[in-house]
Structure 1
Amino acid sequence: MCYDISFSSNVQLITDYLPDLVVDAQLPIDFDLTLHVMAQAYRKYPVIIFEDDTYKLKSFEWGVIADYMNTPEKVKQSRQYMCNAQSEKIINDKKSFWRRIRSKRCLIPVTGIYEHREIKGWKNKVPYFIRLKDRPMFCIPGLYHYSPLPDVETGEIKGTFTLITRSANSVMKQIHNGGPNVFRMPMFLPKELEMRWLQPGLTDEDIQQVLDFEMPSETLDYWPVFTIRSTKPRPDNQDKTAPFTWPNLPPLGVDESTEQKNLFS
């Protein structure tokens, strides 16, 4: 699944991408902290919705709080599983919560995402940064929902969102090659399909046509980085998303090696 995303710019990049966008005057986003955002931190993140015939940029929390999570205990227990929505369940699974909220569509602006690669014989997974070529920013489609529980301190009804994933293309299968949700990737779209995702009144067939799109592998840029979630400083003092040379790293598609220098020891 995709639990780590990056936005390495500011709100101006988003408004340049979508000039008609109305930015929430109370957008409490610190863009100095969005170089890496992890799903289960449930932090506020800028999300684009189409509401009242207007494109709006709002601050929602990553991780949907569904209607059945009507106590703090249920939220704590179940929210961790609501950060990603499998594309296959949005239309075809009639019991899925994602189908129930399929009309609440949003876009999640990113400059890239992170994913881990497993290599047999290595103690640590190798982190990668992935982005789309020739697009300094793009948007991952998602779904949003307002929490059934008001904030205990402010009384605010929080907006929450989930990020849509699909089966991986050939490159992403070689990067996201292990774990309980192996061979999946975020839904990447060309800009025209991003905008279509936000259009009101889409039929189930229209929605499915968008969800069926697979971003070709050759449109991706990707490279190893030093770490995703660790706070250990990079030995080369470079940016978190900068390429990092891992000693003895086998090429993609070769997932077995007997040597790894443990950079975290």
Structure 2
Amino acid sequence: MCGRYASARKKHELLEEFEVELDGDPETELGADYNVAPTKNVYAVLSRVPKEAPKAAERAIRQLRTVKWGLVPAWAKDPSIGSRLINARIETVAEKPSFRQAFARRRCLLPADGYFEWMPVEGEKKKQPYFIHPEDGGVLAMAGLYEFWKDPSRDDDDPLKWLVTCTVITTQAEDEIGRIHDRMPMMIERDRWAEWLDPKLTDIERASGLLVPADQGRLTAYPVSTDVNNVRNNGPDLIKPLMDDGETALF
């Protein structure tokens, strides 16, 4: 699974990197987060047709939105289910009731600098955390889904009436990454961003065909401090390499 990641880029960097046309939450800027955990607010890149767009000029606009990590299906009785739906397995995402509608129409990209996984330490009961990230230092565009949930307890004009949530699609990890953990987030390469985000692409087989595992060597990993185990810890030290003496590198 993918249960923790780092996202430290500033909003203006993401707007430029993903060629975003509309800042969906202009008054909100999330700070650098080196320990993103489920139920936190995160950035999502998605494409939607504005409600106010003339019928003849309907065009999906790429936008950056702030959403909550942990998908709440539209049919859910309450939002508590979201904490159990932080990941969607590629093997079942198109059929599982919690995800199939979003997979057909509400796909997104979740920007990250990298993600964390834990590897059992041979002969010990503890696990060693690793930071896994693109070797070229670029952004990791994780495949995601988003969904809208309407709170029946709130008035229609309440700004909190609608909750927007997301989930990360995961796949089988291979090579060195698979040695650390058998699952990993599905990456979407830049040349497939537009098609993946297109809400008019509702063909399940075509959408599934865009989910291609990362090329060998695309990602690299190194051990980091166990401080990341506690979600209350944050800061750039969490992604610094762990040296042989168990200390983090001083850079």
TM-score, normalised to structure 1, is 0.78
* One-letter amino acid of the counterpart of residue 77, structure 2: N
* One-letter amino acid of the counterpart of residue 217, structure 1: Q
* One-letter amino acid of the counterpart of residue 100, structure 2: R
Partners of 2:189 and 2:75 in 1: CA distance = 34
Note if 1:84 corresponds to 2:87: yes
Cα deviation, residue 90, structure 1? 2.3
Partners of 1:148 and 1:25 in 2: CA distance = 19
Q: Do the aligned residues in 1 keep the contact of 2:177 with 2:221 (CA within 8 Å)?
A: no
Q: Do the aligned residues in 2 keep the contact of 1:3 with 1:83 (CA within 8 Å)?
A: yes
Is there any run of 5+ residues in structure 2 with no aligned partner, and where?
A: 50-59, 247-251
Q: Do the aligned residues in 1 keep the contact of 2:196 with 2:207 (CA within 8 Å)?
A: yes
TM-aligned CA distance change 1:164 to 1:151, over 3 Å:
farther
Deviations 1:94-125 (A, max 9, x none): x5321122111111011111111112322321
The percent of aligned pairs where both chains have the same amino acid is 23
Partners of 1:170 and 1:247 in 2: CA distance = 27
Cα deviation, residue 231, structure 1? 6.7
Which of 54, 58, 73 aligns to 2:61? It is 54
The equivalent residue for 1:158 is: 163
Note if 1:28 corresponds to 2:28: yes
Q: Do the aligned residues in 2 keep the contact of 1:139 with 1:189 (CA within 8 Å)?
A: yes
Q: Do the aligned residues in 1 keep the contact of 2:168 with 2:185 (CA within 8 Å)?
A: yes
Q: Secondary structure at the match of 1:221?
A: strand
* One-letter amino acid of the counterpart of residue 86, structure 1: R
Cα deviation, residue 238, structure 1? 6.8
Cα deviation, residue 246, structure 1? 4.9
Q: Do the aligned residues in 1 keep the contact of 2:35 with 2:233 (CA within 8 Å)?
A: no
The equivalent residue for 2:98 is: 97
TM-aligned CA distance change 1:238 to 1:209, over 3 Å:
closer
Deviations 1:147-188 (A, max 9, x none): 132686854301101110011122221011xxxxxx111001
Q: Secondary structure at the match of 1:146?
A: strand
Count of aligned positions: 231
* One-letter amino acid of the counterpart of residue 35, structure 2: H
Partners of 1:44 and 1:151 in 2: CA distance = 22
* One-letter amino acid of the counterpart of residue 104, structure 1: R
Mapping 1:111-260, distance limit 5 Å? 111-149=113-151, 155-176=160-181, 183-202=182-201, 203-211=203-211, 213-227=212-226, 228-230=228-230, 239-246=237-244
Partners of 2:67 and 2:20 in 1: CA distance = 20
Cα deviation, residue 144, structure 1? 0.7
Deviations 1:52-74 (A, max 9, x none): 12111111100011234213xxx
Partners of 1:47 and 1:232 in 2: CA distance = 23
Q: Secondary structure at the match of 1:35?
A: strand
Partners of 2:244 and 2:178 in 1: CA distance = 20
* One-letter amino acid of the counterpart of residue 43, structure 2: P
Cα deviation, residue 36, structure 1? 1.4
TM-score, normalised to structure 2, is 0.82
